[in-house]
Structure 1
Amino acid sequence: MTSWLSGTTISAPFTIGSGVVATAPSVLARLAREIPQLGFVTTKTLSLLPREGYREPIIYEYYPGCFINAVGLANPGAAAFVRDIAPHLPLHNNKPLVASIMGENPDEFVACAKILDPVASAFELNLSCPHVKGAGQSVGSDPEAVKTIIQLMKKTFPKPVIAKLSPNLGDIATSAQLCERAGADGLSLINTVGPGLILDDAGIPILSNEVGGMSGRGILPIGLKAVRDVARVAHIPIIASGGIASPCDVRAYQRAGASFFSVGSALAGKNTQQLISFFQYLAQGIDPSTPLRSPESPDQREGLLTAYTKTTVLRNSPAADDLFVLDLADARPCNPGSFFFLRIPGVGEKPFSPMSHNPHRYLIRAVGPFTKRCQALQTGDEIYLRGPYGNGFPEPPLSRPLVLIAGGTGAAPLIMAAARWQRQVGRMFIGFSKEIQAHFKRELERTVARVRVVVDAPGEVGAILSELAHDMRSEKILYRNCVAFLCGPRRMTGAAVALLLDAVPRSRIFVAREDLMRCGIGLCGSCATEHGLRSCIDGPVFPLEYEQP
């Protein structure tokens, strides 16, 4: 057990850094329950009002274990967070919930904290984000503002207040002394370094915000120096962060003067089970009397998680008024249901699951600036892609027929599945909300055996569900023995699952979720499911029996 800031004890001295992985209440609660080494949990930085943040790309790994990111402090706002976290409280074993907050002035910090007060055990003041104008280190660079914020917070709330400081503002030890004199109960050192800039091979910034904070292995020496310098002059506990990726790093921060340890970028690419193993691994560094034998990390990997490949457009053909098929000169293999990010420099990037991988073919609906720009691409135009990411559909048992149910662009991964396991396809339904072009319908019918292409009548929805219900009544043996794969809009797949459960066990139904994915490597948490998994890394394909609380 470890003594916590409020005088209570916690199970272990670890947390996950603000804005990393546990950014959604469902994920935060699940990890608090499943990772014993998390002694307390920290929210993403919350603001008085919602913030959209920056568009993708928001993160890039420029060297193994080294990242640059600019999310823009995106968050739903304090009130929405209180509403969403309420069903998950109290956290497992009453673990403390540290609410990270931001503001442009002292009154805004206090107003945000008042909303969060009913659910927060402590407050972390973000005085250090390096890439958001008017907040973060813009506020933290003003000593009088910092002093006023801390004093107001301590006067208003009888809870621990933690100041998160930046190494970018010069003498961090003097800043720490100011915070301690103002009444801070603890210090969080450090936030990302920078901002920095990374360019692609054409000299164009990779991040949509152009510049971003740098994190990961490269800033470990900066974090260690900051903690040592502050520990020599301050007398309040320090939460260390910056490059922690091994028990040796934990031990080094401990020797520098830290009491608690916040882990961030090292969690990139790790699914929930790998996070559990990783914190067990890090915990070997806690006891200073235990010699470290350089234990191997449980998830050694090669290469960069976000490496882009430049490719060209082979063909761009319309499939409906707002639907098109984009063929790329790339043959990188993947499993049906896995996905890639496509990037157009200066425009952004979005994730798509291909309908074939040799060559890559994508079924895309033009709904926003990025997809409309994709719709305008011509043969020979260049585009970047990275991936594949996520878990695809599993290999179905040879003894069982496949039933495939797709809606809209969700048809793409199931078309690949039908091609890979074509001898097992017992039935396939593809539903569209609008008429598709005749040539595209003929292509689907040639490509996929036993396919039924269904188009909703004008002003109506759900034609595919009527077809499925009718087929289940007439082909009872097929459905009783099948494995079912689904992909499409949430309402459609949910209704289809409800029908299938009359004949198919949950363990033989697999759904590819269409969640908002912004990084693809499990760090930003935008794709959190209601049960606390991250769709981009734990999914996007889930068996119904697995995605449980």
Structure 2
Amino acid sequence: MTDNKFWQLTQDKLVGTGLAGLGIRAPFTIPSGIVTTAPSVISAIAKLPEIGFLTTKTLSLRPRAGYREPVIHEYYPGCFVNAVGLANPGAEVFLRTMQALLPLHENKPLVVSIMGENPQEFLDCALVLDPIADAFELNLSCPHVKGAGQSIGSDPEAVSEVIRSIKVRTRKPVIPKLSPNLGDIAGMARLCRDSGADALSLINTVGPGIALDQEGNPILSNVLGGLSGSGILPIGIKSVREASRAVDLPIIASGGIGSADDVRSYASVGASLFAIGSSLAGLSTPQLANFFERLMDSLNGGQQNSPQGPVRSERRMNYMKTQVIENSRLGAGIFKLVLEQGPACNPGMYFFLRLPEVGEKPFSPAWDTEPVYLVRKVGIFTEALEKLQSGDSIYMRGPYGNGFEQPWPHESVVLVGGGTGTAPILMAARRWPNSVFRAFFGFSEQVNDSFHKEMLQFVPSANIIYDRPNEIGKVVRSLAEDACSHREDYSRSRVYVCGPAAMMNAVYAVLDGIVPPERICIAREDIMKCGIGLCGTCATEQGFRSCVDGPVETRA
């Protein structure tokens, strides 16, 4: 990265303001509610030199479940409609988790975003989170949650009371986040300044709006969602311009930033700091780091290319409609869903299956172009899948994530699958049959003869094991015994594993010291809601996001 000339010019806007004491040393953050939504990811992203401060997701006094999936949709390349519903674990849970990871890298400040349905709730939430907050962002702008966000931000008396009370009780900088939907941005900016605000954050999403599928069904489970991405850039610039002309406060600009020119545009109308969110869609953690490095280099007079490269011409969340060919019971609570058609993918990658007005969930296929899924009935959505009949319609999107690497010529592979995690392992066996050295498939209940024979058809040497209540871990014990008996063969093999987390951890433990860790490939079964790295639901303990950094990973 070249000398940070751009930051040297923009940081002067913070001198003598309420943000001056935070020690911000770079101009960028990621806005509330996107990417850095989990403490582990916040801690990891803090290591990027271009990130000057971190912003949490919006936190409430009590936990909020938010909305069911789908929660986000790309209706046009680079343009999104989303309604997560301000899902969060609640202030006290977040406090405990975040405290364990502080201080952040180089003591970077943490801006804690909070919400409330009234001024007292805002204050109570701030007081709980005060021990970890270097500043508070006030969510006065969410356009699709009743009784919070924009509904509070449209009440001048409530806004003033929230700002004053938090300033008095916490003595921390307060940054109201305002919505362009409120109309009089200049007037609201002056109200915030007069009430004691130290800076402003502009803008949140625009809208709400509605995205429909090809049959006219609303895609988001909440129907309505806020608009974000490149399409709202002109609105963001207009809002920042109006606010900066009305008040002399630092402004954190967000909304459609995807290039150095976008940053310069916001800076030219008065922005001091810059939050980038939707442009990070689909980027793995290394790609995200590269994005910010290239962006800063361009701002400092280096390469002039937009950091995300050529403008995208295709959507990353495009649904295709297909039909059910077969829906058959395999055992207690587990069934096989066969669809008419689907895109090709590598073993270990995944797709989202969607039923309008019911929801969507991610699944790794046991085969791709004639899609086969193994599904366990665990909730509302999988219960609806179980009821599908031949000829019924279903939507799918994908593939997403990283799959298993193709084995080298003459390289042997050990396969280990548990429950529905057997699906991508079976696909690996079908894709690379000549590489399979050993295979272990474990189930908690007996599967029917037809599926048993089907597994043996693809992997004739497979060990199919049933862990009855008094035999938990039998598949891992079988693997351990075989690995000890054929230690040299295992040491030269690559291992593909997918199943319950406890099983995968046990597999890793028994192979430790036998198989090099970089050759043990684990396909995580984390909860994923977007598939493009934005919502952060699938954050790992190491600060990665399974949907884009995985789901296949090694622990090397």
Provide TM-score, normalisation by structure 2. Answer: 0.95
Q: In the alignment, does 2:506 pair up with 1:495?
A: yes
User: Counterpart in 2 of 1:444?
Assistant: 455
Q: Is 1:238 aligned to 2:254, yes or no?
A: no
For residue 359 of structure 2, the aligned residue among 326, 339, 348 is 348
1:15 aligns with 2:29: yes
1:460 Cα shift?
Answer: 3.9
Aligned residues of 1:59 and 1:71 also touching (Cα < 8 A):
yes
Q: Is the 8 A contact 1:277 1:298 kept in 2?
A: no
Q: Deviations over 1:255-281 (max 9, x none)?
A: 011001011111101111111111123
The 1:228/1:339 distance shift into structure 2, 3 A limit, reads same
Matched residue type, 2:177: K
Aligned-pair identity in percent equals: 55
Superposed CA offset, 1:381-401 (max 9, x none) = 100000000000011222321
Once the two structures are superposed, what CA deviation does each residue of 1:455-480 show, in whole Å capped at 9, x if it has no partner? 01245411101211221232223212
Aligned residue among 453, 460, 481 for 2:464: 453
**Which one of the candidate residues 340, 350, 364 is aligned to 1:339?**
350
Distance 2:62 2:113 in 1: 14
The answer on 1:404 being equivalent to 2:415 is: yes
Q: 1:224 is matched by which residue type in structure 2?
A: I
Kindly provide the amino acid, as one letter, of the partner of residue 150 in structure 2: Q
Mapped partners of 2:484, 2:134: distance in 1 = 55
The one of 258, 270, 274 equivalent to 1:261 is 274
Give the C-alpha shift of residue 286 in structure 1.
4.6
2:45 is aligned to 31
1:371 aligns with 2:385: no
Q: Report the alpha carbon displacement of residue 87 of structure 1 after superposing the two structures with TM.
A: 2.2
Query: Do the aligned partners of 1:422 and 1:449 also contact (CA within 8 Å) in 2?
Result: no
Match of 2:163 in 1: 150
Q: CA RMSD in A?
A: 1.4
In 2, distance between residues paired with 1:89 and 1:198?
A: 40
Matches within 5 A, 1:252-291: 252-284=265-297, 286=299, 290=301
Contact 1:310 1:385 in 2 (8 A): yes
Shift of 1:338: 0.2
Cα shift at 1:245: 0.5
Q: Could you tell me how far apart the structure 1 residues matched to 2:516 and 2:293 are? A: 35
Q: Find the aligned partners of 2:272 and 2:299 in 1 and give their Cα distance.
A: 10
* Structure 1: distance between partners of 2:480 and 2:294: 50
Q: Does 1:42 align with 2:55?
A: yes
**How far did 1:296 drift?**
5.9
CA distance in 1, matches of 2:379, 2:405: 32
Confirm or deny: 8 A CA contact 1:41 1:95 kept in the other structure: yes
Say if 2:443 is the partner of 1:432: yes
Compute the displacement of 1:284 (Å).
Answer: 4.4
Distance 1:457 1:71 in 2: 39
The answer on whether the counterparts of 1:250 and 1:282 sit within 8 Å (CA) in structure 2 is: no
One-letter identity of the residue aligned with 1:397: W
1:222 counterpart = 2:222: no
Q: Work out the CA distance in 1 between the residues paired with 2:385 and 2:126.
A: 43
**Is residue 32–residue 57 contact of structure 2 (8 Å, CA) maintained in 1?**
yes
Structure 1 residue runs of 5 or longer lacking an equivalent are none
- Which amino acid letter does the alignment assign opposite residue 60 of structure 2? S
Aligned-residue offset at 1:70:
0.2
1:274–1:299 Cα contact (<8 Å) kept: no
State the one-letter code of the partner of 1:125: L
Q: 1:110 aligns to what?
A: 123
CA contact (8 A) 1:48 1:78 kept: yes
Instruction: Give the 3-state SS of the residue equivalent to 1:529 in structure 2.
Output: coil
Moved more, 398-407 or 101-110: 398-407
Instruction: Quote how far apart the aligned CAs of 1:420 are.
Output: 1.1
Q: Is the 8 A contact 1:248 1:285 kept in 2?
A: no
Corresponding residue SS for 1:85: helix
Q: How does 1:153-232 map to 2 (within 5 A)?
A: 153-232=166-245
> Partner of 2:5 in structure 1?
none
Q: Report if the CA contact (8 A) 1:247-1:281 is conserved.
A: no
Superposition deviation, residue 200 in structure 1: 1.1
Residues 19 and 199, structure 2, Cα contact 8 Å, conserved in 1:
no
Q: Hey, what's the Cα distance between the residues in 2 that align with 1:533 and 1:449?
A: 36
Indicate the larger mover: 14-23 or 441-450.
Answer: 441-450
- 1:482 is the counterpart of 2:493: yes
Query: How many residues are matched?
Result: 542
CA deviations on 1:273-320 (whole Å, 9 max, x unpaired) are 111111123224655xx5984546347544101000000011111111
Question: How do 1:45-124 residues align onto structure 2 when only pairs under 5 Å count?
Answer: 45-124=58-137
One-letter code aligned to 2:516: P
Aligned to 2:541: 530
Matches of 1:328 and 1:299, distance apart in 2: 34
SS of residue paired to 1:469: helix
- Secondary structure in structure 1 of the residue aligned to 2:51: coil
Instruction: Give the SS at the match of 1:117.
Output: helix
Larger CA deviation: 474-483 vs 317-326: 474-483
